[in-house]
Chains A and B, each alone.
Chain A
Amino acid sequence: MEFTFIEILRRALDEEMARDPAVHLLGEDVAAGGAFGVTRGLEQKFGAQRVRNTPISEAAITGLATGAALCGLKPVLEIMFIDFATLALDTLVNQSAKYRYMSGGQLAVPLVVRTQAGAAGGAAAQHSQSLEAWFIHVPGLVVVAPASPAEAYGLLKSAIRLGDPVLFVEHKRLYTMKEALAEGAESPPIGKARVARTGTDVTLIAYSAMVQSALEAAEELARAGVSAEVIDLRTLLPLDMPTIAASVAKTHRAVIAHEAVTNGGIGAEIAARIGAECFDELDAPVLRVGCPFTPIPFAPELERALLPGSGDIVRAVRAQLG
């Protein structure tokens, strides 16, 4: 049976709430289904105590969810746009991430913050950003960014069961993507990447919506006789370096693609690690594909012009091949 990304997130939440009474949902408009309909119907099923609307108070609701996580709940908090996570940063960075370490292991924060990122449809500069790199800078957090519905289903379940604070980044462009869900499939573990396509000439490393672009680029490269391997990171913190290193050892070339701006992005971290761990394997400099260093514009022509895609990935690979 096929599900959209939104439907499958709802199914994962529904199943986890049914399985574990500690799981509670909160966020702006979640009782009404949330801005994107992910939580639609869950209040009717689980009651207003477990699916709670909040005021537009990102600082307080993130603190509230963290305090509740210290005391036996497993909150799943929706921050409507990752752009608004700016208002939740104090708690996430100074509290949620550090509680376990600062308390010498006495307390933990089993919290999932679901948020939605990326550019699509003229959402403009304050509702389109890809800010996930900020969070991989903070020890104690986990950052997950699924690339497809089936992956989101399993990863959300794994995140809820993990026991540590997880930022779960959903790309708005993927929300309508449909995929079949294999019955009885195991949830992918947090921290493990997936080889989405095997190849021998170059490794394309991507996450979230850019995995689709990387697969399209691999298809185009294949027509030109270049065999590209595609790695879907799934988890951004921690990074699955063994999977990346094994692929680079085979292909000797790597291109990292993300929608976030290239500057200070996750690609920089991966490139540095490939340089340190796989230097002798490389036949070409590691290249990055990302957004130019510009806010996301409003007009459709400008938005399209700015966003990186499969063409940019193909060009990077061609540059490597010389």
Chain B
Amino acid sequence: MAAPTLNDCKEMYARLWRIRLFEGQVQRLAGAGEIPGFPHLSTGQEAVAVGVCAHLSREDALFTSHRGHGHVLAKGSDMQATMAEILGRQDGLCRGRGGSMHLVDAANGVLGATGVVGGNLALAAGAAWAAQARGESRVSVVFFGDGATGAGAFHETINLAVLWRLPVLFVCENNGYAEFTSRDEHSNVANVSKFAAPYAMPAQTIDGNDLLAVHAAAGEAIAGRRKGEGPYLLECMTYRMAGHYVGDAQRYRSKEELAAMQEKCPIERLKRHLVERGVAPAELDAIGERAKQEVQQAVERARAAPRPDPATVLEGVYSAASLAGIQG
């Protein structure tokens, strides 16, 4: 797998910023009461989304969790339509029916996000089964947190995926927390990749905050799935710089831990790397500034989008025309 060119790296640097700033806006708008519900941010975990999705085409299937904004943007979904959905607008990806935890952009291969931890793993395996059965070369990727390994569905799904040799990449973002509870309190197994061995599934644990490491490992892993080598588990060690949800007081983290988090920032790390390779800091600042403008423009357009018409609330429960509008 060829290392990314300097230009590729700059593009990925821009993508990291877009996600970071987009979620900064989500935080701001949620705080201002403009976003219904309780969005979950992936701040600090952006390198996993960008490094993995760099290898995916629109045809590849992507499933994510409640913490999925970054994955959806990294897959290439429209920022404005994504924000409009999070704001609950008619122009949103799901016409305001899904929201932050249920982003779908089918035309772009974003096939689902779930608010039930671990709830999408088997669906991703199912998408891979469909690709296998139909002779398609597309792969299926599912992002989940370390908390999902407490769910039986995780173990059931990896067993099935290995048995059926399904082209699915399981990407665990091990961010150290299952909601408010740290990994050492919710599992005796420190590394999620250890779960792969008994099922004979190849797996690897990498530094998920090192974008180049993610890019390299994900590139190999996805190429292997395309060649029909069955499933793979990529554990990306990362750190959730945000709380579990916007508004989480985070009483479970010490002041020292919070103070040290900036050291882990994947954007800072890529910046240092690029500067070492001779990129002028001013050029990187300009990339960040452009991303800021793009995000601001998308946010303002999304905020101006129309709200859904309450008269349409009953539409679209069933696909069969004969069941349209039924009330039980």
- Name A's B-contacting residues (CB within 8 A): 24, 49-50, 52, 54-55, 57, 59-73, 90-91, 94-95, 99-108, 110, 136, 139-140, 142, 162-164, 189-191, 237-239, 269
A190 to B326, CA, bound (A): 12
The stretch from B94-102, B265-273, B297-305 touching chain A is: B94-102
Partner pick for B119 among A49, A94, A102, A108, CB 8 A cutoff: A94
- Chain B binding site: helix, strand, loop or mixed by DSSP? mixed
Partner pick for A91 among B92, B93, B119, CB 8 A cutoff: B119
Query: Quick check: B111 and A70 within 8 Å, CB to CB?
Result: yes
Name the residue on A nearest B106 (C-beta).
A106
Q: Mark B101-144, 1 if CB is under 8 A from A, else 0.
A: 01011110001101110011111111111110110000010000
- Name B's A-contacting residues (CB within 8 A): 61, 63, 92-98, 102, 104-107, 111-112, 114-116, 119-131, 133-134, 140, 152-153, 156-157, 159-160, 163-164, 315-320, 322-323, 326-328
Name the residue on B nearest A108 (C-beta).
B319
Partner pick for B126 among A57, A68, A110, A163, CB 8 A cutoff: A68
Partner pick for B61 among A63, A71, A104, A164, CB 8 A cutoff: A71
If A49-B133, A67-B125, A103-B97 are given as contacts, then 20 extra A-B residue pairs at C-beta distance below 8 Å, sorted by A number, are A57-B156, A60-B121, A62-B122, A66-B122, A67-B111, A68-B133, A70-B111, A70-B123, A71-B111, A91-B119, A91-B123, A100-B316, A100-B317, A102-B97, A106-B93, A142-B323, A163-B320, A191-B322, A239-B328, A269-B328
A94 to B320, CA, bound (A): 20
Q: Shortest Cβ distance from B235 into chain A, in angstroms? A: 20
A152 to B152, CA, bound (A): 34
Query: Quick check: A67 and B126 within 8 Å, CB to CB?
Result: yes
Partner pick for B122 among A59, A94, A136, A164, CB 8 A cutoff: A59
A61 to B123, CA, bound (A): 9
Query: Quick check: B94 and A91 within 8 Å, CB to CB?
Result: no
Query: Quick check: B122 and A64 within 8 Å, CB to CB?
Result: yes
Q: Shortest Cβ distance from A68 into chain B, in angstroms? A: 4
Q: What are the residues of chain A within 8 A of B159 when measuring CB–CB?
A: 55, 57, 60
Query: Quick check: A71 and B131 within 8 Å, CB to CB?
Result: yes
Query: Quick check: A55 and B163 within 8 Å, CB to CB?
Result: yes
A193 to B116, CA, bound (A): 36
Q: What are the residues of chain B within 8 A of A100 when measuring CB–CB?
A: 316-319
Question: Can you pick out 7 interface pairs between chain A and chain B where the beta carbons lie within 8 Å of each other?
Answer: A55-B159, A57-B159, A67-B127, A95-B112, A102-B104, A190-B323, A191-B326
Q: What are the residues of chain A within 8 A of B140 when measuring CB–CB?
A: 67
Q: Shortest Cβ distance from B133 into chain A, in angstroms? A: 6
Q: What are the residues of chain B within 8 A of A163 when measuring CB–CB?
A: 319-320
Query: Quick check: A70 and B320 within 8 Å, CB to CB?
Result: no
Q: What are the residues of chain B within 8 A of A136 when measuring CB–CB?
A: 328
Q: What are the residues of chain B within 8 A of A91 when measuring CB–CB?
A: 119, 122-123
Q: Contacts A24-B133, A107-B111, A140-B318: A63 and B328 contacting too (C-beta < 8 A)? A: no
Q: What are the residues of chain A within 8 A of B134 when measuring CB–CB?
A: 71-73
A273 to B323, CA, bound (A): 19
Q: Shortest Cβ distance from B251 into chain A, in angstroms? A: 29
Q: What are the residues of chain B within 8 A of A73 when measuring CB–CB?
A: 129-130, 133-134
A269 to B128, CA, bound (A): 40
From A99, A136, A237, residue with most partner B Cβ within 10 Å: A99
Partner pick for B156 among A60, A71, A190, CB 8 A cutoff: A60
A63 to B168, CA, bound (A): 14
A11 to B94, CA, bound (A): 39
Q: Contacts A103-B106, A104-B95: A164 and B129 contacting too (C-beta < 8 A)? A: no
Q: What are the residues of chain A within 8 A of B327 when measuring CB–CB?
A: 238
Query: Quick check: A94 and B126 within 8 Å, CB to CB?
Result: no
Partner pick for B326 among A64, A66, A238, CB 8 A cutoff: A238
A62 to B156, CA, bound (A): 11
Q: What are the residues of chain B within 8 A of A140 when measuring CB–CB?
A: 317-318
Query: Quick check: B102 and A102 within 8 Å, CB to CB?
Result: yes
Q: Contacts A63-B119, A91-B119: A68 and B129 contacting too (C-beta < 8 A)? A: yes
A49 to B132, CA, bound (A): 9
Q: Shortest Cβ distance from B100 into chain A, in angstroms? A: 12
Q: What are the residues of chain A within 8 A of B111 when measuring CB–CB?
A: 67, 70-71, 107
Query: Quick check: A104 and B160 within 8 Å, CB to CB?
Result: no
Query: Quick check: A66 and B106 within 8 Å, CB to CB?
Result: no
A101 to B163, CA, bound (A): 33
Q: What are the residues of chain A within 8 A of B323 when measuring CB–CB?
A: 142, 164, 190-191, 238
